[in-house]
Amino acid sequence: MREPSNRQFEDVCPCCGARLLIDRPLGKILSHESPPKQPGRTPDLDHPGKVLEQAAARREALFRQSTEEEKHKAELLERKFEEALKKSKGEPVTPPIRDIDLD
């Protein structure tokens, strides 16, 4: 098990038992360690329509989640830009520092 830091923590998925390393500020998974394979765990093939519906619902949920993340991504970048612009307006304009070669 990795040593947790302030930014990262390790957790176990309650559904499948996978180990996840999560970045706390971003709320994103940094690494995923699959759980060991368990014998006898096969998909329910008695009701194939149900299995296909569940897979379609999962894909749709993942798509909705990714579009929401993209919406928030644009808002986050806009806020960062506005904050940097406000910060730079208060600073005096100075010429860049240049290195002088004295050889």
Higher per-residue pLDDT: 42 or 1: 42
Strand extents, DSSP E, 1-103: 8-12, 19-23, 28-33
At residue 6, does pLDDT exceed 80?
Answer: no
At residue 84, does pLDDT exceed 60?
Answer: yes
- Structure-token match 């904050």, residue found: 83
Strand extents, DSSP E, 1-102: 8-12, 19-23, 28-33
Cα(22)–Cα(62) distance, integer angstroms: 18
Total-model pTM: 0.37
Under a CB-based contact definition with an 8 Å cutoff, are residues 9 and 22 in contact?
Answer: yes
Quick one: pLDDT at residue 1?
A: 47
At residue 71, does pLDDT exceed 70?
Answer: yes
Task: Report pLDDT digits (tens) over 10-64.
Answer: 888 887 888 888 888 877 878 888 887 777 666 667 788 888 899 999 999 999 9
- β partners of residue 28: 23
